[in-house]
Structures are given as C-alpha cells and as structure tokens.
Amino acid sequence: MMKRIALLASLLLLVVTLHACLSHAHSNSTAEALALLDWKASLLSLTSHSILPSWTISSRNAEASLCSWFGVHCKGDRVYRINLMSYGVKGTFHAFSFSSLPNLKELDLSINGLFGMIPPQINQLSNLTYLDLSYNQLSGKIPPQIGQLIHLRTLHLIQNLLNSSIPEEIGSITSTFGNLKHLRFLNLSTNSLSGSIPSEFGHMESLNELAPFKNNLSGFIPPSLGNLTDLTILQLYENKLFGLILEELGNLKLLVFLESLSTLNLSYNNLSGNITFFNELRGLVQVDIGHNKLEGPVPDVPVFQNASIQALEGNKGLCGDVSGLKPCKLSRNDHYKLFYATMFPPLGAAILSTAILALILYAKVISETNNFDSQCCIGEGGYGNVYRAELSSGDIIVVKKVHPQRADESAEQSFLIYKYLEKGSLATNLSNEEAGKELDWDKRVNIIKGFAHALSYLHHDYSPPIVHRDLTSNNILLDLEFEAHILDFGMAKLLKPDSSNWTNLTGTYGYVAPELAYTMKVTEKCDVYSFGVLIMEIIMGAHPDDLISTLPSLSLEMQLLVKDVLDQRPLPPSPDVQDQLMSVMKITFMCLAHNPHSRPTIWKHLHEYVIPFHLNLFNVSKLSFLDLAHNGSYGNILSEQCLLSTLDHLAMEHNNVKGTIPQEMEKLRSLSQFFLHENKLSGNIPSMGNLSNLVKLYLGVNERPSSITEELGMLRSPGLFGLSRNHLNGSIPRKLDGLAFLYLSSNKLSGSIPVNSECLDLSISFSCGILVSLVKS
C-alpha cells in the first residue's frame, strides 16, 4: 500500500513539473509575441499597405502563431531571428522590449525608415551574433553597450545619421568595441562619426572587414590595426585622417579582393609618408590611396604597378613606373641595375616585349654576350646588332646593342632587352607554308587583337605617347601560345607636347605612311597606317603590295572583297570569326586612308570594332568574383561562363554584349549579383527561378522588345532588380514575392501593377509605359 502511495506521489510530482515547464515555455512565447506586438503598434508604414498583417496572436496557440509571422524565425518555440530588411517600416526602438527576446541571435532591420537613437538596452540581446541597422535614419551616438554583445560576428550600421555625441573622453566610436573578440564584419560607413579610430580596434582579432569610410574621422591610423592579421578588407577613405601610414599595416598579409570596390582604400584623407613597406602586402589585389600627401616610390608589386592613375593621383610626390606618375630619380648605384620596362596591357593584349630606353652599363652585359662575340650575334641592323644571351637565372634574352647617336653617349651604352621568343617573327610564320596552315583564323584574330591593344597602350596610356615608326611583320614575334610581342623600338619616338616632332624619313618600305615622305612629321597616325598594312598582311598571308593603292577606289561589296583576299592555306573561318573579320576590314580601310586625318585612332578601333574576349575559364573551378565591366568588348555571353558553379558576382555592364541571355544561366546556383546593364542584349529574360541566392539583377538599358517572364517572380531572396530603359512589353508578372526594389521606368509595359502587401515596397518608377491601374495581387 505504501509503495503504491509513493508511486502515485512521484507521478503527481512529474505531472506538476511538466505542467510548470510547459506553462513556462508557453509564458515565454507569449511574452515574446506580446513584446513584438507592442513594437508593431508604435510603427508606421512607408507604403500604402498595412503594417505586418500576419503579426497577430492566437489565444489558443500563441507560440505557433508567433513562429508563422512574416520575418520571424523560431528554433523550437523561441524567436532566434527577425528579418524585416527593406520591409518599409518607420518608427523608433522606444517600444522595442529587448529583454523579452533573450534568445535572439540575428536582427536585420536594414533599408527601412527607423529613426531616433540606438538605445543602450540593446545589450540585453546577449546572444546576438548578427546586427544590421543599415540604411535607416538612426541618429545620435553608437551606444558603448554594444561592446557587451560579446557573441557578435557582424555589425552593420551603414548610411545612418550617427554622429559624435559621445563625450570626448570616451571617443566618438566607443572603445568597448575591443571586447568584441568574435566580430568579423564591422561596417560603420557613410555616417557623421568623428574623433579618432580607437586603438582598441586592434583587439578584435577575428576581424575580416573594417569599413568606417565616408565619415569625419580624424587623427592617425592606429598602429594596433597591424595586429588584425585576418583582415581582408580595410576601407578608410573619405575621412580626415592624417599623419604617416605606419609600417605596422605591412603585417596585414591576407588583404584580398572580396566584394568592395577596393580592398585597401585610404583615399581622400591627409595621410603622409612613404609606402614602400606595402611591398609586404603580397595578397593585395586592389588599392586606392589617391588624394593624400603620400610621397616616394610606388611599391614594386603588381597591385600598384597595375593601378589606375585615379587610385594614385592627388598625392604630394608619388613616383614610379606607373602610367601617369613621374619616374623616380635614379641614384648613381641604380645605373648598375638591369631595368625591365616591359609593359603589360590588360586582358591578354600583346606584350610590348622590350625594355624601352632601358640603360645599363656596358660592364653588366659584356659577360652575358662573351664581350659581344660574333658567335652570339643573331642579327644585324642599321641601328645596332642583336645578340642572344643566357642569364644566370636560365632565362634567355635578346640584347640589341644600339649604336650611340651622339658623341657624348660613348661613356654609357644603350641596349634594348627582349624576351627570346620561340616561334619567331610573324613574317617568318606567314611566309612558311606549314606555319601558315598552323596559323589558323582564331590565332590570327588573336594576334590582331593583341597587337591593337599594345599599340593603344603606346599611343593613349603611356605618357608621353610613343610612336613606334617601324611596325612590320618582322618586328612582331610570336611565343609558343601565338601571342604577339611588338619588338624593336630602335626608332621609336616620344611625342612631346612642346615639340614639333619633326624627323628624318625612317621605317620600312611598304609600311611607312605616305605623308612622311613630304611632311617629315611624326604622329600616331603614322603607326595607324602601318597597323592597317599589317592587318591586310595577316588576312592575306602576304604583304598586300599594290592592292593598298587601289583600296580607296574599290566599289566591290565587302563580303566579296574579304572572300577574295583571304589566305587560302588555313581552314575557312567559322561564321563568328567571319563576322569579326568583316568588322576588322572596315576599320582597316580607314587605317589605310591617304589623308592621316581620316584615319581612326587605335583607341577608336578598340572601342568601336573591338574583338570580343573569349575567356577560357574552364579550369578556374573556384572562381567567385568575375568583373569584365567597362571594356567595350562585344560578342555573346558564352554558355561556358555558365559552368562556373561557384560564381557569386558577375559584372559585364557597359560593354557591347549582344544576343540573348543563355538559358544555362540557371546553372549559376551560387550567383547573388548579376550586372548586364548598358549592353545591346535582346530577346526575353530567361527563367532564373533556380537562382535562389540572387539578390541584385541589373539589365537596364538594352535593346529590342522582350518581356518579363513569370519565373522572375520565383526568386526567393529579397533583392533589387533594375530593368529600366529597355523595350520591355507585355505585363508585369503578378507573382513578385521575392522582390524588394523593382525599377521598370522607360519601357512599354501595359496592364496593372501587382503589389504584394508584405514584400514589394513600391519603389517603382511610374514612367513604365501605359500602365493603367494599381492592384493588389
């Protein structure tokens, strides 16, 4: 009997305990729901639809209804994530009960109309790992209590009205950020923050991105930032920072290009000093240090050598072998070094394989050529003999010993240094029957393309411009990959603005521009004429000779002319290459005009009749970021580019891309940002419903009528889609659940605008065509 009583007592205690636990859980869920409803009641809508209509509580099952609310995500019955990004709410945090959401880990309220201050009670979200309040109108100080969120990994407060109301002894950016040991991404950009960058930032040892750009920060860059050895993005531009850039930044060895416009951006400050220690930043891929007070040599690493002048200009005295910068003054000892002034134009263009005006002492090359022994001589010319030399490193070079032009040059000998190229000259390959067959049309088109880019570099990117004056098929050498290399600058001339540029008649018969015979004045148009002759030689397989003089009077159809002059040794060109050859021939006739003013510039050739870049990316299996924008290239989007399954960012805007978007685009499952605006695309927008990660799609300013497919509405990630200034017709799909911003201005759409009450925030321009009404879907 006593055992039965004891058993019943234990069961009763278990029931009571379970009931208490369930009641407590129910009470917690109800408390969370009531807290969020209180905050909802204080909000206004930036749009015409009602505020969060799904946020209602059921008296029978509060926790179940809470976890089904829009933007609310639960684990078990507790709220762990709230995501109202770009929902269109307006209000403050005054009624937000932080203490009622102790399990909240992720809070994203970006792109809304929140205003007022960030309350110090935010520290009650003690488990928070992700906080994004960007693109609102929040003002006042950043509360130091944020530093107590020790589990925080991402903090984004971009583009608010945050300012310097924190007392000076604390600093405008609170030093308590140093407690955030797990913080990886910190972006405070585009606010009005002032004061200095706290040295405590150097304690955030997990930091990958630090971006407080576009503020009013002042003072020095703290040396402690050099401790952030995992940092990949550092953006401090458009502040009021001053002082030296300290060598401690040289410890940041993992700086790589991720998603921002530049990895290391210190532009528009007042920074001073020398930056040679940046040689240590071997992982750096993009840099912008413009508009400071920096001076001295630019580091001899690719990121600086390939930087645009905009990324370096506006400084006190930077110098170096970079286009647009003054060359550094050489010390006496520097004359004993071998200088390779080899230039590498972008995107696979021909390499100018020469050390232009590279001066080295006689004693430095004499041993490499056995005192210029005749056995090492492989060629002779009016400007000097050519010798083959093997360096101690094993590299084989060609040295052209240029004859001194003046008596005062006898003490220091001039040489031109070339890379030794295995395939020999273009002339040799064209004159040989077997080599002419091997030189198929794809290779010939690639040679023309590379040659054009190299010449464009000389004329338009090098300062001062260089005219080669002796462009012939003998002066173009081919490597094992049939890439073209322009050689022999023995007669090259720098075009100086303050010089008349008069010269003696030089060059090779059959390639020299006719005006040089009577004007003796050198311009870039002299090289343009030689360029036209070379294109004809590549297409015909031999020098065009007297055909050039008959070109201005030819009235034959272009197709007939091309067919008649094509070299018959290689297999016939494919239709795609035929189209390219037609474009090339059009510009070639202009290059061969007798009047130099009628000839185009090489730059015009590249940007109006540019040959498309067919990039072989099959082996780049881990590529995540591909930017081909602003190149002026044309052609179609190759289906091969759609095999890059890891691609996250694809930018091809501002080109001359034609045709349709291939259906294979749906294979890019990782793609989140796709930019194709400002091209010449046509046809319908293909199905992209499988691109579940896509958040940004820009197709604006393209050609020909097309329509918006229903599949566009299947995209699940909230995003920004630009389709303005096309020739879109038909109606807007009724299902647009995934869209946050939709731009459809300047089209020919008709019908009604569907509006989902909880998704689309109506950022739609109304110059869409003949839309007749606004309806709710």
In which residue are the tokens 């019943």 written? Answer: 8
Burial of 182 (0-12, 13-18, 19+ CB in 10 A): middle
Give, in degrees to the nearest 5, the angle at Cα 114 between 108 and 117. Answer: 100
DSSP of 265-316: E--SSEEEE--GGGGG-TT---EE--SSEEEEEPPSSHHHHT--GGGT-SSS
Q: State how far the Cα of 392 lies from the Cα of 200, in Å rounded to an integer.
A: 50
Give just the sign of the alpha carbon dihedral 436, 437, 441, 445.
negative
Omega within 30 of 0 (cis) for the link into 299: no
* Cβ atoms of residues 640 and 667 within 8 Å: no
Closest CA to 109 of 128, 127, 150: 128
Active site residue 470: yes
Question: Could you tell me if residue 88 is left (phi over 0), alpha (psi between -120 and 50 degrees) or otherwise beta?
Answer: left
Please count the other Cβ atoms lying within 10 Å of the Cβ belonging to residue 68: 13
Give, in degrees to the nearest 5, the angle at Cα 520 between 515 and 526. Answer: 50
Burial of 705 (0-12, 13-18, 19+ CB in 10 A): middle
Spatial strand order in the sheet of 216-219: 194-195, 216-219, 240-244, 270-273, 293-297, 317-319
Task: Give buried/exposed letters for 25-40 (b at 16+ CB in 10 A, else e).
Answer: eeebbeebbebbbebb
Q: Measuring CA to CA, how many Å separate 356 from each of 417, 418, 499, 522, 686?
A: 8, 10, 20, 18, 50
Question: Could you tell me if residue 510 is left (phi over 0), alpha (psi between -120 and 50 degrees) or otherwise beta?
Answer: left
Q: State how far the Cα of 464 lies from the Cα of 522, in Å rounded to an integer.
A: 14
Q: State how far the Cα of 552 lies from the Cα of 617, in Å rounded to an integer.
A: 42
In the set 108, 132, 288, 470, the catalytic residue is: 470
Is 326 known to sit in a ligand binding site? no
Indicate the SS3 state at residue 419.
strand
Closest CA to 158 of 214, 234, 120, 205: 214
Q: Measuring CA to CA, how many Å separate 424 from each of 378, 421, 532, 676, 704?
A: 12, 6, 21, 41, 47
Dihedral through CA 251, CA 256, CA 259, CA 261, nearest 10? Answer: 80
Q: Which residues are catalytic?
A: 470
The binding site consists of 401
Specify binding-site residues for ATP: 401
